[in-house]
Structure 1
Amino acid sequence: MLTGVITAHESTDATVVIPISVRDLLSRDLPACTWSGSATHLRHVERELARAAAGEVDYLAVCTPVDLPVAIGGIDYQVSEEAGTMWQLAVLPALQSRGLGTLLIRAAEQRIRNRGLSRAELAVEENNPRARALYERLGYAAYGRKPDAWDEEGPDGSIRRHETMCVLMRREL
């Protein structure tokens, strides 16, 4: 289990440090993960947890001391025989830029190594430069592009198709 701390500086005279840990995401965690996406997204995550039980994927959660997930993400071992493919990486917006994404990715890389694989891959939307900058800081390099699409549930319950272009990135572990 990886552990770390969240450090928040709200003023020049106060620092808050909160211990965190990384574990498998569980079905019981999903009600606490509404920040990560729509109800449609969470239903998809729930389906992925069934794949995790079958060993096809790992789905991780970075958790606070009261065991609430503040960052989540998956690793799919079925996409490539030679790599673990990370996807659906998300950090609670209020806690972004506190090292949680880095901790999540490093934990995912360790899971990939534990499977005997030596490469990690991911795709990042071209219109998400902040995430791409994080991946580049962590040693990921772009090697291609591909379109991606998924259905999103709107606030009114309507379903709309989200289409985007992604940069494919990888890192040797």
Structure 2
Amino acid sequence: MPEVVLPLTVRDLTAEDLHPGFSGWSATYRQGTFTALDRAKRGEVDFLAVCPPSGIPVATGGVDYAKPSGIPVLWQLSVDAPLRSCGIGTVLVRALEQRIRGRGLTWAELGVDENESRPRALYERLGYVVTGREPGSWDQEAPDGTVTRYETMITVMRKQLAWTSA
């Protein structure tokens, strides 16, 4: 099968990107992302989109600078399911790390659901190391609108960011 290569751009996520069908997001998740975009206006977070030439995001994620630990936390990292394992997650994480470095900060942290081995393998390949565990929970909305509470253990991972000239 021939390989298809498309250029990707990384840009700030906008409210216009959050139409109801975007990436299969539920109304609850979209509302949380609107809240994150409001926080971005105040400089508390960066929220990025990775896009092919169509300009429609195929991956999104944020970095929260307002955590009590003082270490920026990557969160809500998502790549459209059919495009996973194509390198798009790496593009997203590296762009978020560049934003962190742009603020003069040298550490990044993220949490990964212990039931999700694929994202953890990516983060390990990118240099993140396990620093602990903590309970995690969030509401999940089903396509029919019902909401259930999801509880799990989160593996906390950190990385010291190298300075780059770019």
TM range (shorter): over 0.9
Query: Equivalent of 2:117, from 129, 132, 136?
Result: 129
Q: Partner of 2:80 in structure 1?
A: 92
Aligned counterparts, 1:14-163, within 5 A: 14-31=2-19, 34-35=22-23, 37-80=25-68, 82-163=70-151
Which TM-score applies when normalising by structure 1? 0.89
Change (3 A) 1:151 1:29: same
User: Identity of aligned pairs, percent?
Assistant: 52
Q: Look up the equivalent residue of 2:147 and give its one-letter code.
A: I
Give the SS at the match of 1:22: strand
Q: CA deviation at 1:33?
A: 6.4
What RMSD in Å do the two structures reach over aligned CA positions?
A: 1.3
Q: CA deviation at 1:54?
A: 0.8
Q: Partner of 1:164 in structure 2?
A: 152
Q: CA deviation at 1:32?
A: 7.1
In 2, distance between residues paired with 1:33 and 1:48?
A: 19
Gaps of 5+ in 1: 1-10
Q: Which has the higher strand share?
A: 1
Give the SS at the match of 2:137: strand
Gaps of 5+ in 2: 162-166
8 Å CA contact 1:144–1:169 kept in 2: the answer is yes
Which TM-score applies when normalising by structure 2? 0.92
Higher deviation after alignment, 70-79 or 34-43 = 34-43
Q: Look up the equivalent residue of 1:70 and give its one-letter code.
A: V
In 2, distance between residues paired with 1:84 and 1:110?
A: 12
Q: CA deviation at 1:56?
A: 0.4
In 1, distance between residues paired with 2:90 and 2:43?
A: 24
- Please identify runs of 4+ aligned residues in structure 1 that moved more than 4 A: none
In 1, distance between residues paired with 2:153 and 2:34?
A: 25
In 2, distance between residues paired with 1:128 and 1:102?
A: 17
8 Å CA contact 1:36–1:90 kept in 2: the answer is no
1:24-73, Cα deviation, whole Å (9 max, x unpaired): 00000012763263221111011100000110000000011111100100
Task: Count how many residue pairs are aligned between Structure 1 and Structure 2.
Answer: 161
Change (3 A) 1:79 1:60: same
